[in-house]
Structure 1
């Protein structure tokens, strides 16, 4: 006979479920709780085979209880009991063995009990994996794992292809956790940032759904426990924090420490930049990260052109200047850099073309070139005539 704990804030619902489970002849109810916090404590104390959790409970709902159980590597199976419709509840299946819809149906309950019995029997027959092996698997990412945040958001594993996002919010949740690598983000912060206009309880359901999707999708890519939940805070597994964005930020920090006077180091850093952070997305919460990243690449390219100018390497100066213009097409300093580079390489006709290109761009903003730019252009023209 399997043992069960029931959690629901409605006492009559608890009594009805306990009665129906007793009538199956396969379940012994060893505990009842009226809220999620109490359920966590009782599950840890009683260690039941299965916990029947109502989704809607005050304080900590059934979804959060399931997350805590999953983070604690608990052997207790979870069955959700809910009034949500089938479309909504399908998202919860990943973190639960089964679900029951209110009002309860005897036939459906019997099928659920059958699933629980098979799952419990299977668990008891399997030998536990050695802790050392589990630890190694958790620390080592799948071969060929790549996380891209600069440009398009992509996750791929060699031999398994690219992860396909189920919903835009799953993708956004991953992006938020990935860009805040090394931090454990409180649940309420995520709710405010990703679902600011939703009712609190509904937003918690949406968050749990996205977490479930992420865990399932990364499990299919060969990664267990991709999303870590502890003390109402979320983070990605360490191996998922190794993104192109993190590498770029680390390299940019290294440049600041060394003064940014090494052309090779600058080249390596700017080559890490493959596009604007979250290029195709409009994440308002990412504005600061995007602005800082854009300012960093702009400063690095500009410094690179200055170093090439000092070395009189005008070919590379032109290439870096063109890349700077692609990144920042209204940057007057980028145009001045290019004009100097073409003049230094003897391509004076290109100086004129760059100046015309700048005028067209600035006309779009209905502004005129600065005196500094005009003075430089006139000086280069005089040098050409001379």
Structure 2
């Protein structure tokens, strides 16, 4: 089991690590005296259990745990402190346990036993998560399920049915999409064989999903499975107006877009949905970027524009905004860099030059900086 420890008292941190090693074969993937950068450390190290001091310097551990649970809802947290009065707050956050210092081995064993019990109880009931952005992936309890497809055709037909999940898809539509070049008899034989493979694969690896047949149609049933693209689209439609209070929701939604819909598979039938989702993401990112500029949240604006540029390098918007943000930040070298990159991209991809207004601005900017 991978465990992470956070406590601002060095001796307490060392003692907890020693106690854990004395009762089991645990891998301590991090022991920290500060909460700085903890979110990134959790993402990188992927601990299976977090021991968190209730107070880390001036940081409130309960509030920190609430933020951690937003990003990592399946990470069990054990609070460690010298004070009993925080217990109610801790368990309101659905913490796994609450241990008072000095930590005793028997008490620590009970905590680990409680975790084992929770894992066993939830393992068979945990919902399946299906990712389609940027590739098909099945997860349960945060772990990837090893689903093996006998043929690439079976995988693609499943993805097509997933694209139309909970809706009937006519057999002739499937034939037209995947076996149009075959004679009718052979095409239907191929279809039935592929459906058989899909059913066998789901039964062996993802039993929560099922495929029914009725009225010359097939229908994929998701059960309690969650699908990333459906969740993302729903969250987008429910976003409130962009304000300082809703900014984090917008930023979280942008982060949760992990890549274009089935882009790794490059399915032709998915291109329309892929394009729509991409446009929605880019439109939202543009809105957030301009808001960050208005609020002078420069580092976040630069980070967002760099991602836009990396993911969609042939759209000029991110280059021009980075030129502007680097200019007001006084980072002259990056102004030159972004302008030259924009110029090269436009010439190589579209055989055009930057807009005249930007060229005039840049020449004027260079003259000012050469004179300075």
TM-score under structure 1 length normalisation: 0.58
Mapped to 2, the partners of 1:358 and 1:372 lie a distance apart of 14
Cα separation, partners in 2 of 1:190 and 1:231, compared to 1, 3 Å: same
Match of 1:153 in 2: 136
Match of 2:267 in 1: 283
1:285 Cα offset (Å)? 1.4
Cα separation, partners in 2 of 1:143 and 1:310, compared to 1, 3 Å: same
Kindly report the root-mean-square deviation, in angstroms, between the aligned alpha carbons of the 2 structures: 2.5
- Please state whether the residue corresponding to 1:367 is helix, strand or coil: coil
Cα separation, partners in 2 of 1:177 and 1:282, compared to 1, 3 Å: same
Match of 2:354 in 1: 369
Matched, 1:353 2:368: no
Q: Of the candidates 255, 276, 279, which is equivalent to residue 292 of structure 1? A: 276
1:224 Cα offset (Å)? 5.8
- 4+ residue stretches of structure 1 with deviation over 3 A? 156-160, 258-262, 375-386
Cα separation, partners in 2 of 1:165 and 1:232, compared to 1, 3 Å: same
- Please state whether the residue corresponding to 2:213 is helix, strand or coil: strand
CA displacement, residues 55-84 of structure 1 (integer Å, 9 cap, x when unaligned): xxxxxxxxxxxxxxxxxxxxxxxxxxxxxx
1:180 Cα offset (Å)? 2.2
Mapped to 1, the partners of 2:144 and 2:302 lie a distance apart of 40
1:230 Cα offset (Å)? 2.1
Mapped to 1, the partners of 2:265 and 2:159 lie a distance apart of 10
- Please state whether the residue corresponding to 1:173 is helix, strand or coil: helix
Structure 1 portions without partners, runs of 5+: 1-139
Mapped to 2, the partners of 1:363 and 1:183 lie a distance apart of 46
Structure 1 segment 180-329 matched on structure 2, within 5 A:
180-221=164-205, 223=207, 226-239=210-223, 242-255=226-239, 258-260=240-242, 262-329=246-313
Mapped to 2, the partners of 1:375 and 1:182 lie a distance apart of 55
1:288 Cα offset (Å)? 0.7
Structure 2 portions without partners, runs of 5+: 1-122
- 345-354 or 316-325, which moves further after superposition? 345-354
Mapped to 2, the partners of 1:224 and 1:239 lie a distance apart of 6
Match of 2:21 in 1: none
Mapped to 1, the partners of 2:168 and 2:368 lie a distance apart of 59
Mapped to 2, the partners of 1:383 and 1:179 lie a distance apart of 55
Q: Of the candidates 132, 143, 148, which is equivalent to residue 126 of structure 2? A: 143
- Please state whether the residue corresponding to 1:183 is helix, strand or coil: coil
Mapped to 2, the partners of 1:357 and 1:179 lie a distance apart of 37
Cα separation, partners in 2 of 1:375 and 1:160, compared to 1, 3 Å: closer
- Please state whether the residue corresponding to 1:329 is helix, strand or coil: coil
Figure out how many residues of one structure are paired with residues of the other and give that number. Answer: 245
1:335 Cα offset (Å)? 0.6
Match of 2:147 in 1: 163
Mapped to 2, the partners of 1:141 and 1:196 lie a distance apart of 41
Q: Looking at CA atoms only, which structure, 1 or 2, has the larger radius of gyration?
A: 1
Mapped to 2, the partners of 1:378 and 1:265 lie a distance apart of 39
- Please state whether the residue corresponding to 1:162 is helix, strand or coil: coil
1:201 Cα offset (Å)? 2.3
Mapped to 2, the partners of 1:141 and 1:197 lie a distance apart of 43
Mapped to 1, the partners of 2:364 and 2:242 lie a distance apart of 29
CA displacement, residues 6-48 of structure 1 (integer Å, 9 cap, x when unaligned): xxxxxxxxxxxxxxxxxxxxxxxxxxxxxxxxxxxxxxxxxxx
Cα separation, partners in 2 of 1:277 and 1:224, compared to 1, 3 Å: closer
1:328 Cα offset (Å)? 1.3
Cα separation, partners in 2 of 1:333 and 1:160, compared to 1, 3 Å: closer
- 154-163 or 288-297, which moves further after superposition? 154-163
Cα separation, partners in 2 of 1:161 and 1:285, compared to 1, 3 Å: closer
1:370 Cα offset (Å)? 1.4
Match of 2:321 in 1: 337
- Please state whether the residue corresponding to 2:262 is helix, strand or coil: coil
